[in-house]
Amino acid sequence: MSDDCLFCKITAGEIPATIVREDPTALAFEDVNPQAPLHVLVIPRRHIATLNDLTDADEALVGHLVGMARDIARERGLDSRGYRTVFNCNTDGGQTVFHIHLHLLGGRSLTWPPG
């Protein structure tokens, strides 16, 4: 837990969020400023600031986050239609909250490339 981290506060229940799915390793909740009809953030409970801070020991953790996103997309009936998952990293990637989070976006046709 990092004391000044917004998403650590969400995992600790200190800041409210609409939880979509959770288990001992990860938490998925609705983005407060959704960019698509479905916009969920999947985060590890453990504080990891950016993708740069991942180690080889975190491979299973990252797979777990992706699996959780897949399950939510399937549950919402978006699996065949499609959806997008993205991790933003640091300034050029557009990261604003420094606790890694996998964006899951779906429910509309998304353009590529992103802005």
Residue 8 near which of ligand 5GP, Zn ion, none (CB within 5-8 Å, type-dependent) = Zn ion
Q: Quick one: how many helices (H) and strands (E) in the chain? A: 3, 5
Residue 32 engages ligand 5GP in binding (rule: CB under 6 A): yes
* 30: its two tokens: 């609705």
Total residues contacting Zn ion (rule CB under 5 A)? Answer: 6
As a whole number of angstroms, the distance between CA 97 and CA 56 comes to 23
Which window, 42-50, 60-68, 69-77, 95-103, contacts ligand 5GP (CB under 6 A)?
95-103
The residue (of 32 and 114) whose beta carbon lies closer to Zn ion is 32
Residue 99 near which of ligand 5GP, Zn ion, none (CB within 5-8 Å, type-dependent) = Zn ion
As a whole number of angstroms, the distance between CA 83 and CA 70 comes to 9
Strand order in the sheet with 26-30: 19-22, 26-30, 38-44, 102-106, 83-86
- Contact positions vs ligand 5GP (CB under 6 A): 6, 17, 29-33, 41, 88, 94-97
